[in-house]
Amino acid sequence: MGDELGALNVIFTEFYFWVTVVMMFLIHVGFAVYEVGVARRKNIRATLMKNIMVIPLVTITFFLFGWYLYFALPNGPGITGGIIPEAVDLGAPWSESMGPNMQDRINGVFWAAFLLFSWTAASIVSGAIIERVRMGAFFIFAVMLGSITWIIDAAWGWSPSGWMVQIMGYHDAYASGVIHAVAGGTALAVVIVLGPRIGKFGPNGEVREIKPHNVWMTCVGLLLIFTGFWGFYAACNIPILDVGGESGSYFSATNIYLMPTTLSGITFNFLMSLSGGMMAAFVLSKADPFWTLSGGLAGIIAASAGNDLYHPLQAMLIGAVGAGLAYKLHYYVERRFRIDDAVGAVAVHGYAGFFGVVVAGFMLWGYPAAAPVEGTSAWFTTPDGFPAINPLGNLLGAIIMFFVLGFLPAFGVAKLLNRFGLLRVPRAVELAGLDTHRYGNAYPYFQSSEAEGGFAEVEREIAGGFNQQVAGRLDEPPGATSREDRRITK
């Protein structure tokens, strides 16, 4: 940093990303508060510990190999080349860039911004599977998603040199697919294998409502997620870069693909997509506070793929449609396929994210996706030779994110864990509560009010039947079974 102007640019960029990391920490705080509010009081502390332990587990694994994968794999599985040798210099844990280095002030804060994205992805899955998953099993999914699968899709579709960007013209500026769809696909796979909470579905196919133990806590958690989302959006930008090229210097903020955008523009679109989603969910849910706020989150996620380029009214409408789809599909899938997603994570993140990526391909058709990389040939190009955003590229990209990198790996790992009885807690533990043995009552000075709504009576009836069957043969619960329950059936 020999000249003052250059030094100011570097130090400003370093501080910019550092601030986004601080803000994004609120996303994780929000997820923890949100999930604890949804959980019944007998599962509160187990739910909280799942979220807490995401921090050290994903941080350490992302440092050891996750960051390396981002720089090493933009060419995909041999599609535009092989593994990038220079990735060792930027992402290997022994690299000089992965520690205090006066010659590289950016790598650490950029790593931390991506790390917070990793926490977000893992927390999305956490909410869907509360109250019946083994903590160790969740830790495996958190590391798999947070430090492997999502960062691979980021290398492919969230890097200016990624093969999906350079060949397909894939565009996903604020991670509708890269984070939310891949996490939603992962959550769907795990929920299918894991099965519903005991008593969620009646013998005649009826769907029973399992109410949150604290609705206002859940809503505050969602509001904290919105607050942290500001940092998320800012971290997806480069604050100042010369994008003038051969025509001369032109300094601007850019998106993750190093294409120009403005913080002013994404501010319009963030708030309009949030508002469109909240309004749609407010109407459809008949003013349910949980779904009104969840709809706002779905609205942001649906519009995020193109919020660097949308007009604010486009962002509002896309957010409204995305929230409506999330709300309707959540209950349709729940009734039709008896899938118990405790917080609506698959719908809000997965379905809305998938829709957002697809619609961005149509809305932004023809815009440049990124500067071309020598040796690659895009399916569609702009008149200047840049890879062009297009519907086909984004549709295939959404499928890759949700199914190929989200659903399939998680389904395989969930099946393997279930094969050894390591996915789900024993039925007796689930009925008593995951806190009962290890933590005890989270509210020791307050009388329980969970009998409201009748679900406690349903559980007592199931528990009575369970106690009578221990001496004989235990009926198999839907979905995964624990190794302890399998011993009873022998």
Instruction: Give CA separation, 300 vs 129, 174, 348, in Å.
Output: 23, 9, 10
The pLDDT tens digits for 289-336 are 999 999 999 999 999 999 999 999 999 999 999 999 999 999 999 999
The pLDDT tens digits for 211-240 are 999 999 999 999 999 999 999 999 999 998
Q: Is the model's pLDDT at 5 over the cut of 50?
A: yes
Name which residue leads in pLDDT, 205 or 390: 390
- The 3-state DSSP composition of the chain as helix, strand, coil percent (nearest 5) reads 65, 5, 35
* Predicted local distance difference test score (pLDDT) of residue 248: 78
Strand partners, 242: 251
Sign of the CA dihedral with 324 first, then 330, 331, and 333 last = positive
The pLDDT tens digits for 112-126 are 999 999 999 999 999
CA distance 286 to 292: 9
* Predicted local distance difference test score (pLDDT) of residue 451: 52
Can you give the pTM of this predicted structure?
Answer: 0.94
CA distance 221 to 212: 13
Structure confidence at residue 470 as a pLDDT band (50, 70, 90):
very low
Buried b (16+ CB within 10 A) or exposed e, 429-441: bbbebbbeeebee
CA distance 233 to 214: 29
CA distance 429 to 192: 20
The pLDDT tens digits for 86-109 are 999 999 999 999 999 888 889 999
CA distance 298 to 282: 12
CA distance 339 to 188: 9
Tokens of 154: 């980021």
Helix (H) or strand (E) holding 239: strand 238-242
CB 281 within 8 A of CB 291: yes
Q: In 236-383, where does DSSP find H-type helix?
A: 263-284, 289-304, 312-337, 345, 352-363
Q: Residue 232 corresponds to which amino acid? A: F
State mean pLDDT over 343-367. Answer: 98
Buried b (16+ CB within 10 A) or exposed e, 59-74: bebbbeebbbbbbbbb
Q: What share of the chain in percent tops pLDDT 90?
A: 80
- Cβ neighbours, 10 Å, residue 358: 22
Name which residue leads in pLDDT, 376 or 2: 376
Q: Is the model's pLDDT at 464 over the cut of 80?
A: no
CA distance 260 to 253: 6
Q: Is the model's pLDDT at 9 over the cut of 90?
A: no
To which CATH superfamily is domain 17-419 assigned? Ammonium transporter AmtB like domains (1.10.3430.10)
Structure confidence at residue 184 as a pLDDT band (50, 70, 90):
very high
Tokens of 276: 């469109």
Please choose, from the candidates 35, 458, 50, 459, the residue with its C-alpha nearest in 3D space to the C-alpha of residue 212: 35
Q: CATH 1.10.3430.10 residue ranges in the chain?
A: 17-419
Structure confidence at residue 476 as a pLDDT band (50, 70, 90):
very low
